[in-house]
Structure 1
Amino acid sequence: MSITEIQTAVKQLSQDELAEFLEWLDNFQESLWDKQIEEDLKAGKLDSLIQQAEKAFNEGKCQEI
């Protein structure tokens, strides 16, 4: 299915169907983001950021939100 076909199909949805689709799309996008974060964690791409955050916490530079 092409992007154009998907766009055409979306335009034909009722308001309720569009709301349901948008909710699904949001959940789908969030799951992709979660997967990417997990992959980055496993690959060590976030290690330096984690170390910086732990250092700041240990130095008392963090405040409760």
Structure 2
Amino acid sequence: MNALPEIEAAIKQLPENDVRQLAGWIQNYLNEKWDRQMEEDLATGKLDDLIAKAEADIAANKVRDLDEIIDNFLFLQKLY
């Protein structure tokens, strides 16, 4: 049974406020699922190589300040 088309059809019948509430619930669900996956990956060592690389880049001063990146992005947005 493929429930997705039925769910999509049901959503189209909902009032806009209910759809927005559902969208919020889905986003929260996905955020929590992402957090659980990140916690699992961290606990099992899947992120160890990435963490070591980031720490090495920081130690070698191969990183830029986040504020600088954001400022550059906002400046470029103003140009376009």
With the length of structure 1 as denominator, give the TM-score of the two structures.
Answer: 0.89
* Structure 2 counterparts to residues 13-28 of structure 1, below 5 A: 13-28=14-29
Instruction: Pick the structure with more helix per residue.
Output: 2
Counterparts of 2:31 and 2:6, CA distance in 1 = 24
Give the gaps of 5 or more residues in structure 2: 67-80
Unaligned runs of 5+ in 1: none
User: 2 CA distance for matches of 1:18 and 1:49?
Assistant: 38
RMSD: 1.4
Q: Comparing both chains, which one has the higher relative contact order based on Cα–Cα distances under 8 Å and sequence gaps of 6 or more? A: 1
Alignment size in residue pairs: 65
Q: Mean alpha-carbon deviation: is it higher for 26-35 or for 2-11?
A: 2-11
Cα deviation, residue 58, structure 1 = 0.5
Structure 2 length as normaliser, TM-score?
A: 0.74
Which residue is equivalent to 2:36? Answer: 35
Offset from partner CA, 1:7-65 (integer Å, 9 cap, x none): 22211110111011101111111110111011000010000000000000001111211
Letter aligned with residue 46 of structure 1 = L
Q: Distance in 2 between matches of 1:54 and 1:21?
A: 39
